[in-house]
Amino acid sequence: MAIKLNHTIIWSRDKRESANFLTEILGLPEPVPFGPFLGVQLDNEVTLDFGENSGKIGTQHYAFLITEADFDAAFRRIKERNLPYWADPGQKQKSEIYTHNGGRGLYFQDPSGHLLEILTRPYSD
């Protein structure tokens, strides 16, 4: 049997705000309610289940491998919203993108403080 990641829970201050933020930036279908969660379906059969937590949210990092065209669209949406973005996970290279392995990428934060990354080439290439 092949082992695949099926879903993971992303704790948020406001699950609707965070799920909608991700779907809008990445151009994904609207989140779907499932029990206490809002599920965001990715193209590789993984679902991100956004849940609410009124306590402290431990920030996480989520990286999304996307096409060059999807990068252009997502980057345009990030800039239209005047969202800060960085070329590095330490958030030192503000308003820059990186060009590792012949691709492009950047980091930005979601409404709950999670560090999101979009990249057009995996690091392993």
**In three state form, how does the secondary structure of 20-74 look?**
HHHHHHHCCCCCEEECCEEEEECCCCCEEEEEECCCCCCCCEEEEECCHHHHHHH
Which CATH number belongs to the domain containing residue 52 in this structure? 3.10.180.10
Q: What is the pLDDT of residue 101?
A: 85
pTM above 0.85, yes or no: yes
Domain boundaries, position 14: 7-119
Q: How many domains does the chain have?
A: 1
Q: What is the pLDDT of residue 76?
A: 98
102 Ramachandran zone, left/alpha/beta (phi>0; psi -120 to 50): left
45 inside domain: yes
Q: What percent of the chain has pLDDT over 90?
A: 93
pLDDT at 27 over 80: yes
Over the stretch 33-88, which tens digit does the pLDDT of each residue have? 999 999 999 999 999 999 999 899 999 999 999 999 999 999 999 999 999 999 99
pLDDT at 125 over 80: no
Q: How far is CA 81 from the centre of its chain?
A: 15
2 inside domain: no
CA separation for the pair 19, 30 (Å, rounded): 8
125 inside domain: no
pLDDT at 100 over 90: no
CA separation for the pair 75, 96 (Å, rounded): 11
State the pLDDT confidence band at 17, using cuts at 50, 70 and 90: very high
1 inside domain: no
Residue 50's identity, in one-letter code, is: F
124 inside domain: no
